[in-house]
Amino acid sequence: MPRFYIEPKNVFHGKFLITDDNICNHLRQVLRIEKGKVIELFDGIGNQYKAEIKYLDKKQVSGLILKKTVVEEPWPYLILAQALPKAGKADEIVRMNTEAGVSEFVFFKSEYSVPPLESYDSKKIERLQRVTIEAARQSERALMPKIREAMKFDEILDNECDNKFILHSREVEAAISIKEISKEVLKGKTSIILIGPEGGFSSKEIEKAKTKGFTVIHLPLPILRTETAGVVAVSTLLML
């Protein structure tokens, strides 16, 4: 069944309205969908709908809501904090980790990050948020991850979470393998995991994180690129 994102405000009184030109065009020109066709809609905040199309043209698609389902994701709430990656990698990081089950994203400037913090302005965040929409649609997630405003490393350390992890590329003093984390530690809790940039975290940053209550963890694998390390770590934690 074709599946599309709809803004929550556009579902009302048992009806729906889509005004996104790209979706309208895809329905008409690509899928050749006509009136009477049943499609699936999701609003990114946990609601899914079976809906029947009653009207469509170049500018809008509307119809009736046949069934509403409220979906709760069964895995823990996990925030991926990603050091600003080099150009072109952010989209892939957001896409892959949305598909893997991340609940929230925040990008931050670390010592070895190449891009300036200013490059992740509101327009960049808005564009990355659109990436989560498509990734959630394809992976059939009911919830769409939020992308917070980018921040500095010291600011990211002040996040209030039940569990706080910082991923290091190698074993260091006081670090534990990600495999040592138990499912019970994450269940029903909010967790954050920090992923370093291409050059990794500095020893100073690791020490700062430890003083802020972060547990240093590592993957029992070869050294991974920053865009790979995050999705592997996230997938491991969410499958515990």
3-state SS of 57-88?
A: CCCCEEEEEEEEEECCCCCCEEEEEEECCCCC
Q: Which of 76, 90, 87 shows the shortest CA–CA distance to 193? A: 76
pLDDT greater than 70 at residue 21: yes
Question: What are the structural domains, with CATH classification, of the chain?
Answer: 3-70 (2.40.240.20), 77-238 (3.40.1280.10)
Q: Which of 26-30, 223-227, 229-233 has the highest mean pLDDT?
A: 229-233
Q: Are β-strands 77-83 and 61-70 bridged in parallel, bridged antiparallel, or unpaired?
A: unpaired
pLDDT greater than 70 at residue 162: yes
Task: Calculate mean pLDDT across residues 82-95.
Answer: 94
CA angle 35, 139, 34 (to 5 degrees): 10
Task: Calculate mean pLDDT across residues 179-206.
Answer: 94
State the pTM of this model.
0.92
pLDDT digits (tens, 9 = 90+) for 123-134: 999 999 999 999
In this prediction, residue 111 carries a pLDDT of: 96
In this prediction, residue 171 carries a pLDDT of: 65
Task: Calculate mean pLDDT across residues 102-108.
Answer: 98
In this prediction, residue 174 carries a pLDDT of: 76
Percent of the chain with pLDDT over 90: 88
pLDDT classification of 175: cutoffs 50, 70, 90: confident
pLDDT greater than 80 at residue 9: yes
In this prediction, residue 169 carries a pLDDT of: 75
Task: Calculate mean pLDDT across residues 207-224.
Answer: 93
User: What mean pLDDT value characterizes the chain?
Assistant: 94
pLDDT classification of 222: cutoffs 50, 70, 90: confident
